[in-house]
Amino acid sequence: MIDTILLDADDTLWESQAHFDKAEAAMAELLSPWAEAPVVDERLLAIARQNIAVWGYGVKSFVLTSLETAADLIGGDVPAEVQATILDLGRTLMTHPVELLDGVYETVESLSSQHRLIIVTKGDNQHQRRKIAASGLEAIVNSYEIVIDKTVSAYHEVLTRHGLDAERTIMIGNSLASDVVPALDAGLHAAHIPHTSIWAHEDITTDDDRIVTLASIRDVPEHVASLQEGTPS
């Protein structure tokens, strides 16, 4: 029996990575006088990885990483116009409209009649709150959690805070690294719904045979129903 469904947000409920892909392409263009695009991409990812422990995930962290990448590749003072463009990229990322992915609204609404629904997302707290409010889903879901990182212990904390039983809870999301593997390791059920684009930092491959992949969020009700009946899928 599944009574609670945890839903990832970025690239599971709404478009996110496509906006970061655009911002990264803009960074490559901006820094093209100093470095080739693949070098910019590589430095952005390497510096982002170093910065996660300090600045966490999300847009503000992306802006700081971009400023650091610019300083690194320019090798001296970053021109004021380059700094201004990076801040603008951050503003654009923070304020883009929330576009729900295909099938999300009707599926979430239909799941809400029989299940407790909790959005579990990571990233910038203010940005994630704004997106949840703008999504139109806040009135449908029961609650939301904005965690610092999606680790096994973060999933345990979510279970404890909401009084949930791991065996009756499923996590749904587009990232194997954040949504699926740690949730399974925490004893929850989990299902993977790949999205068209994923951040390189989250892009892992695994032959873990516990992983269930669904083509669309529209497949979640049937999958959850199969777990209710005790049918392995």
Rounded CA Rg of the chain:
19
Determine which residue in the list 6, 8, 89, 191 makes contact with Mg ion, applying CB under 5 A. 8
Is residue 145 close enough to count as binding Mg ion by CB under 5 A? no
Taking the C-alpha atoms of residue 233 and residue 226, their distance in angstroms, rounded to an integer, is 7
* Residue 73 vs 172, nearer CB to Mg ion: 172
Is residue 10 close enough to count as binding Mg ion by CB under 5 A? yes
Host H or E run for residue 104: helix 104-111
Binding-site size for Mg ion (CB under 5 A) equals 5
Only one of the segments 3-11, 26-34, 186-194, 209-217 lies at the binding site for Mg ion (rule: CB under 5 A); that segment is: 3-11
Token pair of 164 as six digits = 């949930």
Only one of the segments 8-16, 19-27, 63-71, 98-106 lies at the binding site for Mg ion (rule: CB under 5 A); that segment is: 8-16
Token pair of 156 as six digits = 């345990």
User: Shortest gap between Cβ of 193 and Mg ion (angstroms)?
Assistant: 9
User: Shortest gap between Cβ of 183 and Mg ion (angstroms)?
Assistant: 12
Determine which residue in the list 155, 174, 176, 224 makes contact with Mg ion, applying CB under 5 A. 174
DSSP notation for 134-171: HHT-TTTSSEEEEES---HHHHHHHHHHHT--GGGEEE
Interface ranges with Mg ion (CB under 5 A): 8, 10-11, 174-175
